[in-house]
Amino acid sequence: MHIREFQKMMHDIYFHRDSKRGIEGTYKWLVDEVKELGEALRNGDRQDISEEFADVIAWLASLANVVEVELEKAALLKYSGKCPKCSKARCECTF
């Protein structure tokens, strides 16, 4: 599935709720989901980890919907087959 299709699916399921919650509230949910992903990585099984990855990308898409950012366009504008810092197809940044 395209990133933009996934974002559209999140819009269809959740935008009526996300838009009411707003940017700050939706951002806080994203932060909580990232924490849950961290906990799953430390203590969870493969299914927990898989579900937490799903939740993080879902809430990132929800937040992008509230902010009116096209996630796929944003991602490909910065990452287009090479590192945006060193411009190499296989990153050679020294930091």
If one asks whether residue 89 binds a second copy (CB under 8 A), the answer comes out as yes
Q: Does residue 62 sit in helix, strand or coil?
A: helix
Per-residue buried b or exposed e for 33-66, using 16+ beta carbons within 10 Å of the residue's own CB:
beebbeebeeebeeeeeeebeebbebbbbbbbbb
- The minimum distance between CB 53 and a second copy, in angstroms, equals 5
Residue of the chain from 19, 21, 25, 34 that contacts a second copy (CB under 8 A): 34
Residues making contact with a second copy (CB under 8 A) = 1-3, 6, 9-10, 12-14, 16-17, 23-24, 27, 30-31, 34, 37-38, 41, 49-51, 53-58, 60, 64, 67, 69, 71-79, 81-83, 88-91, 93
